[in-house]
Amino acid sequence: MFRRADLPLALLESPDTLLPLRDHFRLLMVTSRELHDEVFAARLGRQTSIAGLGVFGRWVTQAPTLLEAIQRAGTSLPHMLQNATQLVVRRYDSDIHWSYELTDPARDGRQQNEMLAIWYMIAVIRHFAGPGWLPSRIVLQDIANRLRSPVGELMGTDTAIGNTASAIVSTGDC
């Protein structure tokens, strides 16, 4: 897959290398197409852990609290893992949205990247809240309606289509 995505295999030996966001997009897109799996990244996310993100994952999970872990993830993601991204927490009435926001307008591979990012964000919270924690719902930007149900099943929660950033949503009573 790395060769098909025009990425050097040496990246496998340097997991802490900062990659341009479009390289992430391309690798996930090529893999998804090769496997004929439109929800590949959601499936992959179920098998990943925050520890698999090397130095970034260790930095985030060594925070003393979930709040600090979220802050660490947000400030270090564009410098340690991939560029053109930010993680933002917002409150809307009783809902808390932790969103994955992209400044790169590229479309090819974007949806796969967002599905995987949502899983990593869930993994951060599970590190502190326990392995069974799930958001009330997830929002995926511009996901095709036919993919809502399969993604929701893989992620174990309701999936909504949004026209803003992809996010995990937790209600005030969670």
pLDDT digits (tens, 9 = 90+) for 6-54: 999 998 888 788 889 999 999 999 999 999 999 999 999 999 888 888 8
Query: Residues 69-108, buried b or exposed e (16+ Cβ, 10 A)?
Result: bbebbbeebbebbbbebebeeeeeeebbbbbbbbebeeee
pLDDT tens for 99-125 read: 999 998 888 999 999 999 999 999 999
Question: Do β-strands 137-141 and 158-162 pair in parallel, antiparallel, or remain unpaired?
Answer: parallel
Tell me if the pTM is above 0.85.
yes
The answer to whether residues 157 and 91 touch, using CB atoms and an 8 Å cutoff, is no
- Is the Cα torsion angle 133, 137, 140, 141 positive or negative in sign? negative
Q: Extract the tokens encoding 108.
A: 């090819």
Rounded Cα gap, residues 29 and 37, in angstroms = 10
Rounded Cα gap, residues 121 and 169, in angstroms = 11
